[in-house]
């Protein structure tokens, strides 16, 4: 009896430049993201994936969450929740001046924190504008 090996498709993350990774981390810290929560690491890894393949920004639920979950050995639902918690914390206690700089008038910081997709898109476009991506 022979067993068939099943091949799993997983995206290998190319080694990012140190400056690009530092740009992501610096931006998150400037905004006020707490480093001690899982969502912080998940957002960093998500941004690395998006910076490599920007079209994935439109496939957060189907591609990003599962890839991040696989990398960190957790579930996509936990990735989504941890990122949401991290975003909510940064939005509540973070640097509002920097948040306005990134989002402008597209989101009302006094009303509601952005969705995970809105936050990742805002971070991506902000980094791209500054040639960090």
- Cα–Cα nearest to 42, from 10, 71, 2: 71
Q: Are 123 and 53 in contact (CB under 8 A)?
A: no
CATH assignment of 37-129?
1.10.10.10
Per domain, the residue ranges of the chain are 37-129
Q: Give me the residues of the chain with pLDDT under 70, please.
A: 1-17, 109-110, 132-133
Residues 32 and 101: beta-carbon distance below 8 Å: no
CA atoms within 13 A on the CB side of 69: 16
The pLDDT, as a whole number, for residue 7 is 37
Task: Identify the pLDDT of residue 4.
Answer: 42
């Amino acid at each position: 009896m022979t067993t068939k090996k099943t091949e799993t498709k997983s995206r290998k993350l190319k080694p990012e430049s140190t400056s690009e990774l530092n740009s992501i981390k610096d931006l998150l810290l400037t905004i006020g993201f707490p480093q001690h929560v899982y969502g912080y690491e998940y957002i960093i890894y998500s941004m690395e994936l998006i910076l490599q393949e920007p079209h994935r920004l439109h496939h957060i639920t189907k591609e990003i969450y599962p890839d991040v979950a696989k990398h960190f050995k957790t579930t996509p639902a936990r990735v989504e929740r941890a990122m949401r918690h991290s975003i909510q914390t940064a939005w509540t206690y973070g640097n509002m001046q920097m948040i306005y700089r990134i989002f402008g008038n597209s989101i009302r910081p006094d009303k509601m924190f952005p969705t995970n997709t809105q936050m990742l898109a805002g971070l991506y476009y902000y980094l791209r504008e500054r040639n960090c991506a």
